[in-house]
């Protein structure tokens, strides 16, 4: 007997993964949470039927959303991670001595609990004692904060689910307010390829640009996501991700990575022509 997980990447395209074993399933207050074991991708976390991460390729996503801004900011001490109940971004942040405190805001406590129990490769990030977990709405958490963080990582689901609020103008504006004078915000910026994600990408781009003076988009290849071609947004009050990138300082910290490296840092901001055209059309 064969079980296949299926996710519609569009109305006409399906991605399917053979399931070895269903590990966990729950309808939380906010979303349907499924974790299953697969031959090809290891453990897979799906939220409302959409793959959030797989053990095989999550390192690409988590390294890229973390190390790119960390290699630009000269002294990131206070970091906020919004979303990301899996703990992967925490694991990457944990590699830095300079970080003094990390707030993780994930609205769904059930997701945090499930990840801690069934996704040890990412949930190891929770063991860092610099981390404080807040199970609250991201916008609500940020609303009253001003001049607090050096870096905010917005590790959201796509805008169809509970992550919707993390794509709004009011959220980006609140991030701006909560950042220090030289703060950086990085977000999961959707994909340029299929129309659903590219529309979300354009909206996000437009809204972040209205809140931040600097916005640059970079890319990575994430096989389990629709089209595999994924983007991130680098928004900041001051630093340019290339001009203020300090390769030596980053290398001196001796941080181990599997995807990110300093050559890639420079290349990752070079976008295909059609993606550039999309962003320029905004």
Partner 1 sequence: MKDQNRAPVYEALENMRNTKLVPFDVPGHKRGKGNPALTQFLGEKCMSVDVNSTKYLDSLGHPTGIIKEGEEIAAEAFGASHAFFMVGGTTSSIQGMILSSVRKGEKLILPRNVHQSIINALVLSGAIPVYVNPQSSQRLGIALGMSLDDVRDTIKANPDAKAVFVNNPTYYGICSNLRGIVELAHSHGMRVLVDEAHGAHFSFGKGLPLSAMQAGADMSSVSMHKSGGSLTQSSFLLMGEHVNADYVRQIVNLTQTTSASYLLLASLDISRRTLALSGQEIFEKVKGFSQYAREEINAIGDYYAYSDEIINGDSVFDFDATKLSVNTYGLGLAGIEVHDLLHDEYDIQIEFGDLGNFLAYISIGDKTKNLERLIGALAEIRRLYRRGPSAAIRYEYLAPQVALPPQEAFYSPRRSVPLDQSAGEICSEFLMTYPPGIPILAPGERITQDILDYIRSSREAGCVITGPADLEADRINILTGEA
Residues forming the active site: 155
CA-nearest of 219, 204, 233, 196 to 273 is 219
- Residue 97, classified by CB atoms within 10 Å of its CB into exposed (0-12), middle (13-18) or buried (19+), is exposed
Count of chain residues binding partner 1 (CB under 8 A): 16
Contact yes or no for 122/53 (Cβ under 8 A)? yes
Of 19 and 148, which CB lies nearer to partner 1 in the complex structure?
A: 148
Give me the 107-146 binding string for partner 1, x by CB under 8 A, dash otherwise: ------------------------------x-xx-xxx--
Residue in the structure block whose two tokens are 């949470």: 33
Of 162 and 183, which CB lies nearer to partner 1 in the complex structure?
A: 162
Give me the 212-231 binding string for partner 1, x by CB under 8 A, dash otherwise: --------------------
Of 35 and 47, which CB lies nearer to partner 1 in the complex structure?
A: 47
Please report how close the Cβ of residue 169 comes to partner 1 at its closest, in angstroms. 6
Contact yes or no for 96/76 (Cβ under 8 A)? yes
Chain mean position to CA 152: 10
Please report how close the Cβ of residue 176 comes to partner 1 at its closest, in angstroms. 9
Please report how close the Cβ of residue 165 comes to partner 1 at its closest, in angstroms. 5
Please report how close the Cβ of residue 13 comes to partner 1 at its closest, in angstroms. 25
Of 40 and 170, which CB lies nearer to partner 1 in the complex structure?
A: 170
Which residues from 50-69 bind partner 1, rule CB under 8 A?
none
Contacts of 148 (CB under 8 A, 6+ apart): 78, 80, 178, 179, 180
Q: For residues 236 and 234, give the distance between their C-alpha atoms in angstroms, rounded to a whole number.
A: 7
Which residues from 150-189 bind partner 1, rule CB under 8 A?
162, 164-165, 168-171, 173-174, 177
Q: For residues 274 and 249, give the distance between their C-alpha atoms in angstroms, rounded to a whole number.
A: 34
Compute the C-alpha angle 19/25/30, nearest 5°: 130
Enumerate binding residues for partner 1 (CB under 8 A).
137, 139-140, 142-144, 162, 164-165, 168-171, 173-174, 177
């Amino acid at each position: 007997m064969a079980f296949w997980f299926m996710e519609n990447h569009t109305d006409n395209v399906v991605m399917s993964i053979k399931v070895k074993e269903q590990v966990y399933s729950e309808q939380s207050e906010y979303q349907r949470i499924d974790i299953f074991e697969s031959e090809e991708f290891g453990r897979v976390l799906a939220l409302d039927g959409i793959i959030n991460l797989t053990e095989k390729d999550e390192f690409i996503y988590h390294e890229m959303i973390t190390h790119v801004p960390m290699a630009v900011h000269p002294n990131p001490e206070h970091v906020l991670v919004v979303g990301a109940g899996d703990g992967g971004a925490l694991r990457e942040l944990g590699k830095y001595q300079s970080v003094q405190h990390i707030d993780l805001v994930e609205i769904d406590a059930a997701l945090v609990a499930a990840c801690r129990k069934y996704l040890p490769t990412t949930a190891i990030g929770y063991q860092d004692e610099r981390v404080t977990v807040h199970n609250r709405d991201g916008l609500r958490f940020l609303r009253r904060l001003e001049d607090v963080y050096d870096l905010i990582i917005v590790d959201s689901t796509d805008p169809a689910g509970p992550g919707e609020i993390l794509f709004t103008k009011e959220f980006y504006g609140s991030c701006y307010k909560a950042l220090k004078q030289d703060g950086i915000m990085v977000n999961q910026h959707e994909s340029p390829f299929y129309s659903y994600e590219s529309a979300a990408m354009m909206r996000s781009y437009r809204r972040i640009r209205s809140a931040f003076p600097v916005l640059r988009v970079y890319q990575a290849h994430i096989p389990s996501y629709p089209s595999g071609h994924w983007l991130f947004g680098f928004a900041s009050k001051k630093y340019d991700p290339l001009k203020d990138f300090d390769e030596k300082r980053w290398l001196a910290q001796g941080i181990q990575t599997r995807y990110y490296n300093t050559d890639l840092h420079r290349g990752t901001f070079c976008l295909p022509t059609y993606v550039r055209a999309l962003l320029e059309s905004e």
